[in-house]
Amino acid sequence: MKNLITDVSGVKVGNSDDSLVATGVTAIVFDEPAVASIAILGGAPGVRDTAMLEPEMTVGAVDAILLSGGSAFGLDAAGGAMAALREKGRGFQVRSVRVPIVPQAILFDLLNGGDKEWGRNSPYPELGYQAVMKANSHFTLGTVGAGFGATTATLKGGLGSASMVTPSGYTIGAIVAVNAVGTTMIGDGPHFWAAPYEQADEFGGFGLPRPFPANALHPRLKGGPSENTVIALIATDAVLTKAECKRLALSAHDGMARAIRPAHTPMDGDVVFAASTGKRPLSNGIIDLTELCIAASDTLARAIARGVYEAEALPFPGALPSYNSLF
């Protein structure tokens, strides 16, 4: 176990970023088409090709899922990802052609100090292409991929991931780009809201503060309400239907709310995908699914804290500090 989403059999991750623009793309590529669904609880999401993930829709599986910076401009990344997957012979077969199925969610990172004056053509199609081409079982966390330009209210945000095995033996993993309007910290830090879920000191091992800070519940918000969004994917090797994946994604949002204060506000685009690589059938039905839902929440909370813990500050005037530069 690497404590990454790629501990789930059949999942690979690729990251591509542009340090001048201060943005990037993360591609989660499935070895075989994966059953997937989505839950959107933020009030202002930016997504592409996600309606088909609802349980009643026809398309049964996806080839990859993209997480991207760039706000709405970042939605161009899916075109590059589709081109890469097409080169690999992936996609939904329609007579003599294949159409890769690549749902996507984006976050707002346009005001982080990077040079966003890219002219007529944005960098996102190429970033999407490269992210798919780089997909493998090992990847780094923090200021990388979709988390490259991410920020929170008080610290640099980033790309996080975590994994665990449920009591029934199913592997579940989370990956998340943490670009929160609020904060992952209790008061001024160094304690994370996700502290009760931490495993093996994966984000510092500080636990909960004693005593609890008097100002802990005071809202700490980023400069503008639209400058945020947390986008994530939960994956498991359990065999799940689209409806069960939907339930898994909804449950995972609990972990987001536990790890970030606040979450799911009117101008958040908070999105969680859930995917099943279908390697191990459920042996105990609803009991196994309940365990997976609990694990999805806990694992996402841990991944969010790790994304901030592992991030490095951007090299621009006025850039937010990293966690490790302070603590």
pLDDT for the residue numbered 199: 97
Alpha carbon distances (Å) from 70 to 213, 238, 265: 35, 33, 20
Alpha carbon distances (Å) from 218 to 154, 223, 321: 13, 16, 20
SS3 assignment, position 33? strand
Who's near 88: CB < 8 A, 6+ residues apart?
Answer: 132
C-alpha 135/C-alpha 16 separation (Å) is 10
**pLDDT tens for each residue of the chain, 327 residues long:** 999 999 999 999 999 999 999 999 999 999 999 999 999 999 999 999 999 999 999 999 999 999 999 999 999 999 999 999 999 999 998 999 999 999 999 999 999 999 999 999 999 999 999 999 999 999 999 999 999 999 999 999 999 999 999 999 999 999 999 999 999 999 999 999 999 999 999 999 999 999 999 989 988 888 766 668 999 999 999 999 999 999 999 999 999 999 999 999 998 899 999 999 999 999 999 999 999 999 999 999 999 999 999 999 999 999 999 999 999
Q: What pLDDT, in 10s, does the model give residues 114-128?
A: 999 999 999 999 999
pLDDT for the residue numbered 325: 97
C-alpha 266/C-alpha 283 separation (Å) is 40
Q: What fold does the segment set 5-321 form as a domain? A: L-amino peptidase D-ALA esterase/amidase (3.60.70)
pLDDT for the residue numbered 228: 80
Contact between 240 and 35 under an 8 Å Cβ cutoff? The reply is: yes
B/e letters for 75-95, b = 16+ CB within 10 Å, e = fewer, are bbbbbbbbbbbeeeebbeeee
State the amino acid at position 258 in one-letter form: R
Q: Cα torsion at 310, 313, 314, 316 (round to 10°)?
A: 180
SS3 assignment, position 273? strand
325, containing H or E segment: helix 323-326
C-alpha 308/C-alpha 259 separation (Å) is 11
290, containing H or E segment: helix 285-309
Q: What are phi and psi of 282, to 5 degrees?
A: -65, 130
